Amino acid sequence: MQENWLRAALIAAILLIAGPIWGEDFRITGIAKVIDGDTIEIRGVRIRLFGIDAPEGAQDCGRADGTRWNCAQQATSALENYLRARPVVCVRRDVDRYGRLVCQCTVSGVDVNAWLVRNGWAVAYTLYSRDYVREEAEARAARRGIWSGDLVMPWEWRRGQRPLRTNVHSGGD
C-alpha cells in the first residue's frame, strides 16, 4: 500500500516539475487497463478521466421498477468493452491530489470521457469542468445507463450520503 502511495507521489512530483518542459500538450498513449468507470492505467501510470465522475466500487443504482443493480460494475464493464484493447491517447489536463494524471482521452478519435457520459455510465463532474454537461443532459433525457432509475451522485456516495437519491423520473429533469 505504501509502495503505491510512494509511486503516485513520485509520478506527481515528476509531472509537476516537468510540466513546464512538456507543456500542456503532454500525452500518454497505449493500451489501457480499466481500473473503474473513470480511471484507467497506461504503462503503469494511473489516469483519472477529466471532467467526469462514475459510480464508485459497490455503488448501486435503481431501476424504474424499484430493483437495484451494481451500476459501478456496469460502468467499468462498459468502458472495458468500449476500449477493447485499442490504443488510447490521453492528453494531460491536470494532476490530482493522489498523483494521478487527469486526462481527456480518445480512442479512434472519439472522446472517451464524452462517450461515457453520453451513454449514461458517468456524469459531468461540474465541480471541475462543464465540458460534458450537454452529454449528461442527452443521457438523462434518453434514460441511459445510470439515468434509467435513481442514483446517488458519485461524489455524494464517497461522502457517505448514500440514503439520498436523485430520482431521475421526477419533474424538472
- Place 121 in a pLDDT band, splitting at 50, 70 and 90: very high
| C-alpha cell belonging to residue 150 | 435513481
Give tens-digit pLDDT for 49-62: 999 999 998 899 99
Give tens-digit pLDDT for 19-78: 444 455 799 999 999 999 999 999 999 999 999 999 998 899 999 888 999 999 999 999
| C-alpha cell belonging to residue 78 | 462498459
* Domain ranges within the chain, ordered by starting residue: 2-167
Find all residues with CB under 8 Å of 19, minimum gap 6, and list them: 26, 95
Instruction: Of 11, 86, 56, give the one whose Cα is nearest residue 158.
Output: 56
- Please determine, looking at this structure, whether the domain spanning 2-167 carries the CATH number 2.40.50.90: yes
Q: What global pTM score does this model have?
A: 0.80
Mean pLDDT of 119-123: 98
| C-alpha cell belonging to residue 27 | 500525452
Residue 165: other Cβ atoms inside 10 A: 15
Measured CA to CA, the distance from residue 168 to residue 149 in angstroms comes to 6
